[in-house]
Copies of this chain bind each other. A is one copy, B any other.
Amino acid sequence: MLHGHNVIGFDTTKKGTETFQSFSTLQGEILPELFHIATDEEIKAAIAKAVAAFDIYSKTSFQQRATFLEAIAEEILLIGDPLLERTNLETGLPLARLTGERDRTMNQLKLFAALLREGSWADAVIDTALPDRKPLPRSDLRRILQPVGPVVVFAASNFPFAFSTAGGDTASALASGCPVIVKAHSSHAGTNEFMASAIQAAAKKTGMPDGVFSSLNGEGATLGQKLALEPAIKAIGFTGSYRAGMALYATVTQKRKEPIPLYAEMSSINPVVLLPETLAARTSETAAAIAGSMTLGVGQFCTNPGLLFVIKSRTTDAFTESLVAALSSAASGTMLNKAICKSYYNDRNKTAQAKGVTQLYSGEDMSSSFKASPALLSVSATDFMADVSLQDEVFGPCSMLVICDDKTQLEAALKTLHGQLTGSVFGNTEELTAYTSTIDILQQKVGRLIFNNVPTGVEVCHAMVHGGPFPSTTDARTTSVGTEAIRRFVRPVCYQDCPQQLLPVYLQNENEAGIMRKVNGAFTREPIV
């Protein structure tokens, strides 16, 4: 049962008269529910509650926050099929995919809960006093990561669970001790309402402060811009288009008095380098893997393989034929929303018409039914290097083969690449070793370097980096997937000669939680005696 309201801490309100509706690309029609756009008064209420909640929530124990995150996972499961059915309608994504994504989203919450229970993430570092040191004594100095303050999360359209209302940004910000205000994605506003209600219920059940979470409805850029300008907001997590991300970056850096961290994940075309021996040995398997990665989720993944680098050889044609065959037999899929579908055909046509670009395969235009068919383009490395616009992301199942004369030209082409979330290399070990310099170039461009695999499929774990140099993100220093994502919403604070009972518990001598700490330069879980 959807109400179309905003979630303001423990309240639900719909004070605004402006409303919008979701359009179902699956059904080709507008869904009946009206969602009320947050008024300025509602925005201010959410901010005020987040500020008040921060004083309490930032001092909760890691165990308390873990219980909260686990409760969110439980509440999500409790929504049951109505959630999956609504999201299916709103996004066109099939139920099997959504069931898997729901699992992933619950697992993300549980992973952060486990990280909190273990506790070492907070990076406790202690240098004990040296009162007799000459020429000057040393004070007792203890450092730990502390939450920065209220965080705004922009929900993404392409992962309505995992990168949206209760997704990785929200989970990591809540884990860090920061209250969260979600700017709901208007193309799955019903999904958002279900998820926001689940978080609200979990917060109430686990005794979290009113305001630890809010979710606001808006259409277009207005709400997001307003939230980004609020002085009380201390960090922003965003996943979306390059254009929207850079508009937000301009707002944050030029219109705010106080700079804050903006983690905008935007545009990546995920180069895949196919080394010749391996391509010759495994031509059809490689083509099948690439086609599968290109069309997975109708190509609507941040890690979609947009560029395929090959060195021209007798295998090139065979590979191209295999890939075209695989793509032409791939099913077309319904896209997330109208705007994405329109952009897909526009962008792929524009790219296909660029100088030197050949269309190797182009599925029929199915935009009238909001479906995307795959496409494969081809360009010489020379033409690729000459036209930077060929690096513009085509969001959907379209990739471009970049044909290089030799290793030297391959390296030259890779050097012109913008920053990327991922870079993949297919090659056997001898070949990879011979191409070490090539791989080094690729490493400098990416957050994740993948060997003999496609870029789609982002494991949620400790070692993951889902981030990378600009423009894949605005801040390559961290990741939006995996436990390290928590670092985005904290800053180190040092306590000098602080009495034991006033220290954060994780810095006290006892180390009752038994976390790993660095004490006088050495790692230990022992108490300080």
- Residues of A whose CB lies within 8 Å of any CB of B are 55, 59, 100, 114, 118, 120, 125-127, 135-136, 138-139, 141-143, 146, 148-149, 249, 253-254, 258-259, 261, 419, 429, 432-433, 436, 439-440, 443-444, 446-453, 457, 459, 461-465, 467, 469-471, 474-479, 484, 490-499, 501-502, 516, 518, 520-521, 523
Tallying the copies of this chain within the complex gives 2
Instruction: Give the dominant DSSP class at A's interface.
Output: mixed
Contact A450 B120 (CB under 8 A): no
**Neighbour of A259 across the interface among B139, B474, B493, CB < 8 A:** B474
**Neighbour of A493 across the interface among B436, B447, B498, CB < 8 A:** B447
**Neighbour of A453 across the interface among B143, B148, B463, B497, CB < 8 A:** B497
Assembly CA distance A440 to B446 (angstroms): 40
Q: A253-B254, A502-B436 are in contact. Are A494 and B463 (CB under 8 A)?
A: yes
Assembly CA distance A254 to B120 (angstroms): 38
Q: Closest B-chain residue to A148, C-beta based? A: B476
Some 27 contacts from A to B, beta carbons below 8 A apart, are A55-B440, A59-B440, A100-B135, A114-B521, A118-B521, A120-B523, A136-B457, A141-B463, A141-B464, A146-B443, A148-B476, A259-B474, A261-B475, A439-B502, A447-B493, A448-B493, A450-B496, A450-B497, A451-B495, A451-B498, A451-B502, A452-B497, A463-B494, A469-B491, A477-B490, A478-B491, A479-B494
Contact B259 A475 (CB under 8 A): yes
Given A449-B498, A451-B502, list of 11 further CB < 8 A pairs?
A100-B135, A127-B459, A136-B457, A139-B457, A141-B459, A141-B464, A143-B462, A146-B443, A436-B502, A462-B518, A477-B492
**Neighbour of A127 across the interface among B127, B457, B462, B516, CB < 8 A:** B462
A526 to chain B, nearest CB (A): 13
Contact A493 B258 (CB under 8 A): no
Assembly CA distance A122 to B117 (angstroms): 24
- Minimum-distance CB pairs A-B, first 9: A253-B253, A465-B494, A141-B463, A143-B463, A448-B494, A450-B496, A127-B463, A127-B461, A476-B491
**Chain B CB within 10 Å — which of A125, A258, A439, A463 has the most?**
A463
Contact A449 B125 (CB under 8 A): no
